[in-house]
Structure 1
Amino acid sequence: MLLDRFDASLFFFLDLAMLLLALVALGFAAFAREDAYRAADKQSKMFWLILLGVTVAVNLFIPMLFLQLAGLIASIVFMVDVRPALRQVSGGGGRRGGSSSDGPYGPYNGGR
């Protein structure tokens, strides 16, 4: 009886984690610019929105493990391959070496 409850809660948290990852990936896909997808030589924005939207819908309404795993793979591919490429071509790399006072045309010196 205790093991059944553990299995149920484990699967609940795994389902929740897959849903959250898909929602986060969908959010990043939605807020990225369309031209960044072309510049990064990735699939179109509409492709990723549809794929990740279907992933969210499957996780919410059709909790079949095979479909959830396919959606999980799509979410992971977006997060580790597409999103860094989009950030790089959009100029939002974050690791390009600069201070927090750097603006788009160089360091901001406070009007001096």
Structure 2
Amino acid sequence: MEQVYGLTGWIMLALRLLALGATVFALVHAVRQRSDAFTAVDKLTKPIWLGILAVAALLLLVGSSGLGLLAFIAIIATGIYLADVRPKLDEVQRGPRW
């Protein structure tokens, strides 16, 4: 990995690792879901989400120093999955929580 200098470098490394962890979590979650659940909640298909999240993980893993534009795009894609798609997938497969 890259060499880290000073407090700013450590903060950027921590943010990148946090984003990578969230992306891997989202990717594992997407892999474990049924394919028909994605269409049932009117979202993109499972293969498309797997591709988006896999590319996001690769961008965060092999990205340049700091958080560049591609890293922000990866973080936004992960955020959309975790905030919008994941809750709806969980709801349709488990039923509403009371």
- TM > 0.5 fold call: yes
2:22 corresponds to: 21
Structure number with the higher helix fraction is 2
Question: Per the alignment, in what secondary structure is the counterpart of residue 43 of structure 1?
Answer: coil
2:94 counterpart of 1:80: no
**How far apart are 1:88 and its partner, in Å?**
1.2
Aligned length: 92
TM-score (norm. length: structure 1): 0.77
The amino acid that maps onto 1:53 is: A
> Which structure is higher in RCO with an 8 Å CA cutoff and minimum separation 6?
2
The amino acid that maps onto 1:44 is: T
2:56 corresponds to: 55
1:25-70 deviation per Cα after TM superposition (whole angstroms, max 9, x unaligned) = 1111111110100111100000100000001111111236100100
TM-score (norm. length: structure 2): 0.87
1:109 corresponds to: none
User: How large is the RMSD of aligned CA atoms in angstroms?
Assistant: 1.3
How far apart, in 1, do the equivalents of 2:95 and 2:16 lie?
31
The amino acid that maps onto 1:75 is: T
1:64-93 deviation per Cα after TM superposition (whole angstroms, max 9, x unaligned) = 610010010000000010001101111255
1:65 corresponds to: 68
How far apart, in 2, do the equivalents of 1:88 and 1:10 lie?
35
Moved over 3 A (4+): none
Look at both structures and tell me which one has the larger radius of gyration over its CA atoms.
Answer: 1
